[in-house]
Amino acid sequence: MIRNGRGAAGGAEQPGLGGRRAVRVWCDGCYDMVHYGHSNQLRQARAMGDYLIVGVHTDEEIAKHKGPPVFTQEERYKMVQAIKWVDEVVPAAPYVTTLETLDKYNCDFCVHGNDITLTVDGRDTYEEVKQAGRYRECKRTQGVSTTDLVGRMLLVTKAHHSSQEMSSEYREYADSFGKCPGGRNPWTGVSQFLQTSQKIIQFASGKEPQPGETVIYVAGAFDLFHIGHVDFLEKVHRLAERPYIIAGLHFDQEVNHYKGKNYPIMNLHERTLSVLACRYVSEVVIGAPYAVTAELLSHFKEPKRRGIFHQIDSGSNLTTDLIVQRIITNRLEYEARNQKKEAKELAFLEAARRQAAQPLGERDGDF
């Protein structure tokens, strides 16, 4: 079990408002290729209670029910732990959520997005807790999915850098990979993310540097925010007793200039939310210059000239390029995984439709 508090240093569980007993919330999932959609789900879940526990499934369980994960379980545990709304991580959580699990961790209820999660045999993984009234739902983040991100990597297009119309190749992918035979799949379909000021406010801390805090500036693409980034930011956080880390994110065009191909895989708005969700980051500069200018340095007391410029080795060899390589190497398996998922969802919806159409006395309560 991995415990961490609201801040990077960790902390004990706090009582609820007015001294009442703290409401403990349970979330679980694969959390493969963690993106801002996952973070937004956990943000909403945390807002429903006082203490958020997140269970993460093993590689073996995911392979059995969905297909091969992109990241290893150890990588996924650490990624979830780095999300600032998570208080505790439970490794090797069961794929099917039961009352026994909720009781084991003293959780009042579990929270999941308004999409379907099915076992290998097509059963709702939250059926038991739903029937017991210990299930809550949060809104799924529109415009992002693991399916979409995989598609961007495989197609090597730049359609995701802007809100311009998708290329014919990307649209063909969206049609074949994000739809089922019966039409557009509402859970795995490909759509474009629209950034709003409200979404940024929800993710941002809104806190300015306080007296005694050390302001540290880092900059980069932070594309497909991953373990390498987390390891780096964690080490940066250790440079000071009370750090205030500002992350500068380069414009899409700038990243594409020095990375080439179809990088960045995530556009600037998507990367902003991904970085803001990290517990080690206090503030983000959206569209930071690649070269640190005198004007920018003036905000941070010209660190390099003062001799406090540091180069940090994250200790991780994971890069965005390596993630893309994993996807390309296992392309057929990932495509088969998503097709399998869509087929199960379609079968589940059809069974639910037939069940709802039956007269009340004939329903057996079992799909």
Among 105, 138, 171, the domain-final residue is: 138
* 85, 108 Cβ separation under 8 angstroms: no
- Same domain for 83 and 111? yes
- Stronger pLDDT, 262 or 147, i.e. the higher one: 262
Please check whether residue 10 lies inside any domain of the structure: no
Q: Is the backbone peptide bond immediately before 69 cis, with ω within 30 degrees of 0? A: no
- Stronger pLDDT, 183 or 350, i.e. the higher one: 350
Find the range with the poorest average confidence among 101-105, 161-165, 217-221, 347-351: 161-165
Quote the pLDDT of residue 195: 67
- Same domain for 214 and 82? no
The rounded mean pLDDT for the chain is 80
Domains identified in the chain, total number: 2
- Stronger pLDDT, 193 or 140, i.e. the higher one: 140
- One-letter identity of residue 261: K
User: Confidence band (pLDDT; 50, 70, 90) for 254?
Assistant: very high
Quote the pLDDT of residue 114: 81
User: Confidence band (pLDDT; 50, 70, 90) for 337?
Assistant: low
- Same domain for 295 and 149? yes
Among 107, 138, 169, the domain-final residue is: 138
Q: List for the chain the helix, strand, coil content (%; round to 5).
A: 40, 15, 45
Please check whether residue 308 lies inside any domain of the structure: yes
Quote the pLDDT of residue 220: 96
pLDDT 10s digits, 175-186: 443 333 333 333
- Same domain for 48 and 63? yes
- One-letter identity of residue 110: C
- Same domain for 102 and 239? no
Structure tokens at 155: 């197609």
- Same domain for 81 and 122? yes
- Same domain for 205 and 300? yes
| Residue for token pair 């179809």 | 262
- Same domain for 223 and 133? no
Please check whether residue 102 lies inside any domain of the structure: yes
Q: Is the pLDDT of residue 313 over 60?
A: yes
Q: Could you tell me which residues are beta bridge partners of residue 284?
A: 247
- Same domain for 301 and 240? yes
Angle between helices 268-276 and 36-47 (to 10 degrees): 40
- Same domain for 112 and 257? no
| Residue for token pair 């090597």 | 156
Please check whether residue 336 lies inside any domain of the structure: yes
User: What's the pTM?
Assistant: 0.77
Quote the pLDDT of residue 84: 97
Quote the pLDDT of residue 187: 32
Please check whether residue 8 lies inside any domain of the structure: no
Q: Is the pLDDT of residue 297 over 70?
A: no
Quote the pLDDT of residue 155: 74
- Stronger pLDDT, 18 or 361, i.e. the higher one: 18
Q: Pick the closest to residue 110 from 91, 134, 132 (CA basis).
A: 134
Please check whether residue 360 lies inside any domain of the structure: no
Cα torsion 157, 159, 160, 163 to 10°: value is 170
- Same domain for 155 and 299? yes
CATH number at residue 269: 3.40.50.620
How many DSSP H helices and E strands does the chain contain?
A: 14, 11
Please check whether residue 201 lies inside any domain of the structure: yes
Widest CA span of the chain, in angstroms? 80
Most confident of 10-19, 121-130, 231-240, 343-352: 231-240
Please check whether residue 178 lies inside any domain of the structure: no
Task: Determine the structural domain holding residue 254 and report its residue range.
Answer: 144-159+187-355
Quote the pLDDT of residue 312: 77
- Same domain for 245 and 350? yes
Q: Which long-range contacts (CB under 8 A, 24 or more apart) does 151-158 make?
A: 151/177, 151/178, 151/190, 152/262, 152/265, 153/265, 153/323, 153/324, 153/327, 153/328, 154/327, 154/328, 154/331, 155/262, 156/261, 156/262, 157/262, 158/256, 158/262
